[in-house]
Amino acid sequence: MSRVTFLPERIEIDVPSGTTILAAARLAGVLIEAPCNGAGHCGKCAVLVAPEDLAHITLPPGSHLPPERESAGWLLACHAQLQGDVTVQVPLRSESGLRIITSGEKRRSVALSPWISKRFAPELHQTFVSAGERLLTVEQGNSAADLCGIVVDIGTTTLVVALVDLVSGKELASASALNPQSLHAQDVLSRIRFCAEPGGLAQLQGELMAELNRLIGEITAYAGVSRSWLYEAVFSGNTCMLHLAAGVDPAPLGKYPFIPTLTGGNHLEAVEIGLAISPKGVVYLPPVISAYVGADITAGILAAELEELSGITLFIDIGTNGEMILAHDGLLAATSTAAGPAFEGMNISHGMRASVGAIEGVRITGAGEVELEVIGKVEATGICGSGLMDLVAELVRNGIVGPTGKFTPAERLPEPLAGRISKENGSTQFRVTDNVFLTQKDLRQVQLAKGAIRAGIDILLDERGVTAFEVDRVFIAGSFGFHLREESLLILGLLPPESAGKVTFLGNSSQAGGELLLLSDRLRVELEALTPHVARVELTGRADFDRVFMKAMGF
pLDDT tens digits, 133-152: 999 999 999 999 999 999 99
- Walk me through the domains of the chain, giving residue ranges and CATH numbers: 2-89 (3.10.20.30), 116-297 (3.30.420.480), 303-341+446-552 (3.30.420.40), 344-440 (no CATH)
Q: What is the pLDDT of residue 519?
A: 96
Laid out side by side, the sheet with 134-140 consists of 116-121, 126-131, 134-140
Low-confidence ranges of the chain (pLDDT < 70): 37-41, 62-68, 71, 92-108
**Helix or strand (DSSP H, E) at 261:** none
Q: Which of 152, 131, 130, 148 is nearest to 139 (CA)?
A: 130
Q: What is the pLDDT of residue 184?
A: 86
Q: Contact at 8 Å (CB) between 511 and 162? A: yes
Q: What is the pLDDT of residue 65?
A: 67
pLDDT tens-digit profile of 411-438?
999 999 999 999 987 889 999 999 999 9
Please name the amino acid found at residue 333: A
Distance CA 421, CA 428 (A): 7
- Phi and psi, residue 38, nearest 5°: 80, 15
Q: What is the pLDDT of residue 68?
A: 64
C-alpha dist (Å) from residue 260 to 242, 253, 337: 10, 6, 17
Q: What is the pLDDT of residue 345?
A: 75
